[in-house]
Each structure stands twice: as C-alpha cells, then as structure tokens.
C-alpha cells in the first residue's frame, strides 16, 4: 500500500537514495533539504524529475521545520512515515574540536531529530498511527577512536529513539532505528575536522592517525569490494513495507563491528529494567 513519507537530508547520500527507492516502490515521497533554489537546486530538480516532491527544510531552524512540515501536511490527507536522515560527520582528535563545532554537530544530528519529532508527532497522534525511522549508526553502539564526538551524537539517538518508542507504544506509532555501518557517502568527505589544530599537534604521532583512518576508508570505498550504500535504502524500504507490529526496534545494516551483539544484550536488559520500573507494558505495541 502506498504511503506518504517525509525524509530529511535528501539531497545526497542515504537520503537521496532512499527517496528514489521509496518513490520507485510507489510511495508518495517528500524529500526535504536546505537551499533548494541555491546550492541544492540540481539535486532538487533531479528528484522532482522522478516525481518526488521537494521541500525546503533546515532541521537546525525551528521555523523552517514547522513551515516545511506544514507544507507537506497541506498536500496529503495523512502522513504515514517520517525518516530522520539529516546528519553530519566528524573525525579527528576530540580535544581539538571547539565547543561551537560540537554544538553544530549536535544541532543537526540530535536537536534536528527532536525538532522534526515535535513537528510531526501531533499529526501522528491525532491520526492514531505513524512510523518514525531514525538513522543512527553502529557508532552509536561501539566507539571508534577519533570518531567519538560523532559517535556521541549517535549514542544520543539510541536513547532518544528508545524513549520515544516506549512513550508512543500505546498510541499506534512505531519508532525504528537503522544503524548503518561504514558506507561510501558524502558524510566522510564533508565531515567536520578539528578547527583547533594546535591541540592536535600536541598529540604527536597519534594526531596523524585520524587522517590515516579516513584515507584507508576512502581507499576501501573505491575498491572492488566496497560496501554498497544502496543496502541502507533497501533496508529502510523493507521496514516501511512491513506491517505494524512486525518491525524491528533497530536494525544494523552492513558490517556490525559487534553492534548487533550489543543490541541483542540490550533487549533483555531493557525489558528487565522496564519491568522493574513497573512499565513493562510499554515494551509492547
């Protein structure tokens, strides 16, 4: 059955591929991005040529979020799915990132998700149904040195997603977390790098490791055995297609680096925790 779907950060990467994949499957897709008449105009035009609606929306701007969501709701009888995909990367010596850089990272990766949820959930609650898909990362479960600040933002999404899943479980709204592994997208090429380079120099040889890690990843991504980022779009499409009550709470896509094992352990621990709090009913839809 065709669904109305809003996805953030759809100009490129997972977002763009997911928008095109879902539209090809027959869904009504609203692909949101910043600056649709400027730097993202070519991306917007390409999506529109495929019959995909393009929405101007900046997840770091409350007014832009409210306006963008309102414009979608004006065009549909009901909104079925919200995909929180917009995000930025970060790689380098953690100490060398300024507080302002960390704030900018969380503004997109965490606060942006909260802004979108606050804008969409009143409609989902009024409808009595809806699906939220948050794009996390395996780095929200396991930690790679020098990617810790990015990972911190994705660890936050883990907690945010679980809490919303519990709180919405009796209102007909499902919340799913997708945990992609390393894939060749723009997130590495455009990732934040530390602006306080003097701090990095203080780490000596260790300070050179982040660049080497990024170089290794970029070389891997250009190889014959590079992981296919379309895996993520396909996984999201499968989650959308599943009937209510049959969707996983979270799903690793690609090499897990142990994230799947942590997921498995967390299920029983969380269930016991909620039972101990007298809130076991919130673990079931």
Helix (H) / strand (E) containing 7 = strand 4-7
- Quote the CA–CA distance of 231 and 221 in Å, as a whole number: 14
Locate tokens 């701007």: which residue? 61
Asked if residues 106 and 86 have their Cβ atoms less than 8 Å apart, the reply is no
- Quote the CA–CA distance of 137 and 236 in Å, as a whole number: 14
Has 203 been annotated as catalytic? no
From 150, 164, 166, 183, active-site residue: 150
Helix and strand numbers, DSSP H then E, in the chain = 11, 7
| Residue 275 token pair | 């039972």
The gap between the terminal CA atoms of the chain, to the nearest Å, is 21
Asked if residues 221 and 169 have their Cβ atoms less than 8 Å apart, the reply is no
Asked if residues 29 and 52 have their Cβ atoms less than 8 Å apart, the reply is yes
Q: Is 172 left (phi over 0), alpha (psi -120 to 50) or beta?
A: left
- What's the sign of the alpha-carbon dihedral 47, 183, 166, 143? negative
Catalytic positions are 150
């Amino acid at each position: 059955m065709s669904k109305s779907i809003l996805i953030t950060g759809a100009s490129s990467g997972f977002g763009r591929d997911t928008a095109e994949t879902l539209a090809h499957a027959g869904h009504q897709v609203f692909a949101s991005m910043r600056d649709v008449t400027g730097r993202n105009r070519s991306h917007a035009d390409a999506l529109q040529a495929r019959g995909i609606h393009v929405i101007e929306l900046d997840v770091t701007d409350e007014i832009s979020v409210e306006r963008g969501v309102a414009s979608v709701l004006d065009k549909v009888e009901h909104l079925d799915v919200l995909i929180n995909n917009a995000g930025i990367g970060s790689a380098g010596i953690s100490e060398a990132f300024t507080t302002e850089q960390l704030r900018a990272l969380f503004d997109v990766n965490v606060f942006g998700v909260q802004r979108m949820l606050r804008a969409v959930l009143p409609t989902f609650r009024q409808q009595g149904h809806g699906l939220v898909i948050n794009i996390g990362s395996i780095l929200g479960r396991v930690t790679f040195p020098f990617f810790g600040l990015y990972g911190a933002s994705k660890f936050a999404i883990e907690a945010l997603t679980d809490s919303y899943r519990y709180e919405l479980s009796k209102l007909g709204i499902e919340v799913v977390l997708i945990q992609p592994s390393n894939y060749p997208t723009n997130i590495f090429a455009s990732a934040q790098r530390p602006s306080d380079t003097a701090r990095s120099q203080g780490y000596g040889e260790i300070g050179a490791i982040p660049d080497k890690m990024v170089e290794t990843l970029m070389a891997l991504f250009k190889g014959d055995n590079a992981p296919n980022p379309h895996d993520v779009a396909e996984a999201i499409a499968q989650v959308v297609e599943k009937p209510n009550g049959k969707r996983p709470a979270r799903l690793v896509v690609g090499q897990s680096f142990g994230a799947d094992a942590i997921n498995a352990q967390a299920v029983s621990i969380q269930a016991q925790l909620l039972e101990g709090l007298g809130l076991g009913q919130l673990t079931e839809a």
